[in-house]
Amino acid sequence: MENLAFYLPFLIPAVVAQFGERQRWARYTTYALLVAINVGLLGIVGLALLNEFARSFAPHLLEPMAVRVDWLAVAAICLLTSLLAFLPLLSPVRRWLAGRLPIDPDSMVHMTALAFVVYQIGLTLAQMVLIGDLENLVDAGLTLSIWDVLLSGLPLALFALVGVGLFIRRDLRSTLDRLGLQISTWQHLVVAAVLILALLALNYGLNLLWESVDPEGYDLVERVTESLFGGLTTVAGAVVLGLSAGISEEMLFRGAVQPRLGILLTTVLFAVGHLQYGLTLAMLQVFIIGLVLGWVRQRSNTTTCILIHTGYNALIVLLGLWLP
């Protein structure tokens, strides 16, 4: 439920923007809500600066923290995020972007989506600064349960459905078509099986290379993975992790976002969503997987992407369980 509470301020303008395609009041309200979020980010900047001031001049006012947070970096990231998020609200900026992306500069939905791109990148970076380096992530002892995984995927699926206008601009059938959720043919199933094996081979090869050239970095990311997902190393955990991430992430990134923002930007957003791995070969692998899934989406449908993503994630866990 905490995930839903965090995403609620962003879900509201996503819903209102759907009405803004046809109703004037909703257009003004969409602008107002996005401006409110941007101003809220400036409020976070102020709080971060106050924390930095307290740490520097009155450290006794702060409770001892296990992780030393760089509040100046948090403030800088939130300030930049707020300022950049104002740009999609400007019609000339949207018209310039429309010459490079398949978006409608007059669409409230597309304007909101562009602002959300800025929010995702900026707030993810701020969150990673708050967490600190990967060692801090290991020391934090965060372990995901099956319930955590299910709840983390729900907001992504909701954003996908709301973002394409389910029951507002589209009925269920047209929503499924817009998201690319069609029945896969047997050819698609063959492609999915081949690509799952290819991605598993890529994972194995990159891990061997990484372990040989940077054993310490490889071991650190392995410990992060074990800390976060160690509670899911069961058959049930593998199935839930595969289905939750496969369905929710593919619905949002390949289903809803890619047709408007293209493969490259969508893949960047997909990779940013996996920053728990840091700037490592694991992140490069996520980026490559995102490109492959984007290519599959262009040539088939999102359903096939879901099959690939689900199968890959589940088999990674199961192979680790069966082949320790």
Show pLDDT as tens, one digit a residue, over the chain (324 residues): 556 667 778 899 999 999 998 899 999 999 999 999 999 999 999 999 988 887 776 665 555 554 577 889 999 999 999 999 999 999 999 999 999 999 999 999 999 999 999 999 999 999 888 877 777 777 666 788 888 888 889 999 999 999 999 999 999 999 999 999 999 999 999 999 999 999 999 999 999 998 999 898 889 888 888 888 888 888 999 999 999 999 999 999 999 999 999 999 999 999 998 887 777 788 899 999 999 999 999 999 999 999 999 999 999 999 877 665
- Could you tell me if 13 and 46 lie in one domain? yes
Whether residue 155 is found in the same domain as residue 29 = no
User: Do 126 and 141 sit in the same domain of this protein?
Assistant: no
The domain boundary residue, chosen from 132, 159, 174: 132
Are 198 and 322 in the same domain?
Answer: yes
Give pLDDT, residue 96.
97
Q: Are residues 264 and 191 in the same domain?
A: yes
Is residue 28 domain-shared with residue 117, that is, in the same domain?
A: yes
Same domain? For 25 and 99 the reply is yes
As for how many domains the chain has, the answer is 2
Task: Kindly provide the b/e burial profile for residues 12-48, where b requires at least 16 CB atoms within 10 angstroms of the residue's own CB.
Answer: bbbbbbbbbbeeeebbebbbebbeebbeebeebbeeb
Which of 112, 89, 113 has the alpha carbon at shortest distance from 259?
113
Final residue of a domain: which of 68, 98, 132?
132
Which of 99, 116, 132 is a domain's end point?
132
Structural domain of residue 183, as residue ranges?
137-324
Task: Say yes or no: 314 and 206 in one domain.
Answer: yes
Residues 185 and 311 in one domain: yes
| CB 308, CB 293: distance < 8 Å | yes
Supply angle C-alpha 135, 141, 142, rounded to 5: 105
Give me the pLDDT at residue 2, please. Answer: 55
- Residue 201: per-residue pLDDT: 96
Same-domain check for residues 164 and 254: yes
Q: Say yes or no: 43 and 190 in one domain.
A: no
- Clarify whether residues 161 and 302 are in a common domain: yes
Q: At what angle do helices 108-131 and 2-19 cross, to 10 degrees?
A: 160
